[in-house]
DNA sequence: TATTGTTATACTCTATAACTATA
DNA sequence: TATAGTTATAGAGTATAACAATA
């Protein structure tokens, strides 16, 4: 007999809760919030984006992002500069911002590895591949 | 060359956001919230649990759960009854509660199937299996 | 004294809608 | 008029601690 089917959300929520804690802790260890880290990460990976584009990319919201951007600029980790359309601010991570982001990311990947060690390597790749495929729609 | 490694949370968040909306909508279509559905589901699957145990199982909190339990009792979908330890309330889903829960669940599984149709079947199983394994710690 | 459920409170998060300056 | 960023505000969500009944 087969087990009753479990809601996928119920299966995924505990994992994402652990991952969320990993990112929160890693960011905090380097003086940032998770969202500030996420903003730096997106900005470094795809330079030239404006605020709205980064917000959309992260599934964040443009108004919530403003306080984070203020703080990141205050810390000299990121710059807002007027783009060709002078309504839109182009975001650029500074060298210090990229370094900081990489430090947080190294901690995150280290802790993810610890978590994922429970999985056989095939399943580990399958998890990321499946989630990646699903996220695309 | 290989792509830069992506944070697992960034990969999983978009999927869980979609799943969360699926559950919210399905529960709302039957007059419940997602958490009320989750409570009914856990209570039906493992009868005899008390409030704190259900809260722990769901990753919810005992005080937030109280309003939901009040509402579920008002709707005659669930009962609180004193257990052997008279401090603790044993939760029991009524027949109507189980039916309601199954209706919501059918909607959820239908919409999950629609979402998961994007995946090759092997990846689909791998996703659930991997998440399940990880959730256990 | 510790625990279960409850209540109260404060704090954070989130969503919505204006407002400005550009287009 | 429409859009990008900003600001203000209200509502939902969340965490914490205190309380009553029971162990």
CB B8 within 8 A of CB A112: yes
CB A93 within 8 A of CB A36: no
- Lowest-pLDDT choice from A39-43, A64-68, A83-87, B127-131: B127-131
- Lowest-pLDDT choice from A98-107, A128-137, B68-77: A128-137
Question: Which residue has better confidence, B128 or A23?
Answer: A23
CB under 7 Å from any atom of strand C: which residues?
A 61, 63-64, 85-87; B 50-52, 62-63, 66, 69, 80, 85, 87-89
Q: Is the pLDDT of residue B137 over 50?
A: no
**Touching B: A residues 118-137, CB under 8 Å:** 118-119, 122-124, 126-137
d(CA A48, CA A27): 24
What percent of chain B is predicted at pLDDT more than 90? 72
d(CA A135, CA B12): 8
- Residue B68: which of B114, B24, B32, B104 has the closest Cα? B32
Any bridge partners for residue A89, and if so which?
A82
CB under 7 Å from any atom of strand D: which residues?
A 50-53, 62-63, 66, 69, 80, 85, 87-89; B 61, 63-64, 85-87
What pLDDT is recorded for position A137? 46
Closest chain B C-alpha to A37 CA, distance in angstroms: 11
CB A103 within 8 A of CB A31: no
Look up residue B74 and give its two tokens: 């008002």
Residue A136 pLDDT class (50, 70, 90 cuts): low
CB A69 within 8 A of CB A39: yes
Mean of the per-residue pLDDT values for chain A?
92
């Amino acid at each position: 007999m087969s087990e009753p089917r479990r809601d996928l959300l119920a299966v995924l929520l505990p994992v994402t809760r652990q991952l969320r804690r990993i990112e929160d802790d890693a960011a905090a260890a380097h003086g940032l919030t998770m969202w500030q880290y996420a903003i730096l990460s997106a900005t470094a990976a795809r330079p030239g984006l404006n605020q709205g584009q980064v917000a959309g990319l992260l599934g964040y919201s443009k108004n919530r992002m403003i306080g984070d951007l203020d703080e990141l600029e205050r810390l000299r980790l990121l710059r807002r500069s007027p783009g060709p359309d002078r309504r839109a601010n182009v975001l650029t991570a500074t060298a210090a911002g990229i370094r900081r982001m990489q430090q947080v990311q190294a901690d995150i990947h280290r802790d993810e590895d610890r978590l994922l060690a429970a999985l056989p390597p095939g399943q580990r790749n399958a998890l990321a591949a499946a989630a990646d495929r699903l996220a695309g729609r």
